[in-house]
Amino acid sequence: MVWISRVCFRKYGNFVDNLRLYVRGGSGGMGLPRMGGQGGNGGDVWVVAKKDLTLKRIKDKYPHKRFVAGVGHNSSIRALKGAKGGDVEISAPVGICVTADDGRALGELNHEGERVIVARGGHGGTLQSGFLPSKGQTRHICLDLRLIADLGLVGFPNAGKSSLLTSLSHATPQVASYPFTTLRPEIGKVMYEDHKQVSVADLPGLIEGAHVNRGMGHKFLKHVERTKQLMFVVDVCGFQLASKTPFRSAFEAVQLLTKELELYKEELLSKPAILVVNKMDLPEAEEKLRELETQLKDQEEFSHLLPEDMTPKSFLNFKHTVPVSALTGLGLPHLKAVIRESLQEQEAIESERHRIEKLQELRREIPVVSKPTWGQPRSEPINWN
Ligand SMILES: Nc1nc2c(ncn2[C@@H]2O[C@H](COP(=O)(O)OP(=O)(O)OP(=O)(O)O)[C@@H](O)[C@H]2O)c(=O)[nH]1
Ligand SMILES: [Mg+2]
């Protein structure tokens, strides 16, 4: 039996995936010239990752969006060294990139409990500063959420991404027979018998020109940046956005999606990718699938089907191509197994890569001190081979 559950973002209000905040470190406390006393430092402002939080909740809870840390205590006869001002902690969801207004990255919070300092408190007054304190750091920061999921669904509108997630997770996201049904990213969780969970991010459909802000999918492309793998979903019978836009076959859809990702961020294409060919219950689906498979075997040869500026620089080689019907459930158990296998393979490759890197680091770092027969000890690298 396969256990399934689903978590998703709150259904109400708009999905918020970035938030700008004003932060200020506390000013330092005054020194005490008479006694040489040192004022306390101002408090710092931190952003700390917490589970089960949304940016929307932070926005609602702190409508002023201002966070100011406590002022350092003045030095006094009773306490010559003034106490530090209180720190302020801003709780934020896991998966946040924190950037300064000038675009400089201040840090990333990828695990619960990770923290980054965003505004330092000022120094307390000391002899060197003439006992005068300094002000705390003041800036605007941006909390930018990028979903963290094992798989990110990539496809044109109406391809059946949400339907697929529904079938994989027995839940009920918005599904409709018109494009742009999904308006914000959602995460579904597929649970296996042994309680292993795989998270899948359902994203709004991309359209041609998404990388130059056409449609709305582009806004969400950043969310595939942190998924481990990509899952392309195409309608086996092809797709047409509107009567005025060209019809695109499943093969063309694959290439156009590849091109959109390439134009947005080429590195995305280095992620392992699975191709799901959906709607296999439709008439002529088998025929169309065979055609697609033939085209995928020699993508170069069939690239003439696409306008030149829409041909990707290099073609994606899918680790698996899985025909399914989200509607009838055809092929879904196989897809589940493929997802699991693909993630496990990637894990194994990554841990091997990590092991090799560590080994190479060690080789570089550890010198061998060989015993000299005379003279000074000689230091030379170990010859491991
Ligand atoms: N015949 C058939 N129809 C399907 C299948 N999967 C999805 N559909 C239909 O296709 C339409 C679009 O499905 P969605 O799941 O909303 O598509 P989507 O890719 O999430 O679309 P956007 O959210 O707009 O990007 C709906 O009418 C679904 O019922 C399938 O396997 N077979
Ligand atoms: Mg959808």
End-to-end CA distance of the chain: 50
pLDDT surpassing 60 at residue 10: no
Calpha distance 184→229 (Å, rounded): 19
Domains and CATH numbers, the chain: 18-145 (2.70.210.12), 149-346 (3.40.50.300)
pLDDT band at 230; cut points 50, 70, 90: very high
The closest-lying atom of ligand 1 relative to the alpha carbon of residue 180 is: 24
Calpha distance 352→288 (Å, rounded): 39
Lowest mean pLDDT among 2-11, 22-31, 162-171, 299-308: 2-11
Look up the pTM and report it.
0.74
What are the tens digits of pLDDT across the range 172-186?
Answer: 556 666 666 666 778
Calpha distance 303→165 (Å, rounded): 30
User: Would you say 256 and 208 are in contact if contact means Cβ atoms under 8 Å apart?
Assistant: yes
Residue 223: per-residue pLDDT: 81
202 alpha carbon – ligand 2 mean position (Å): 7
185 alpha carbon – ligand 2 mean position (Å): 9
278 alpha carbon – ligand 1 mean position (Å): 9
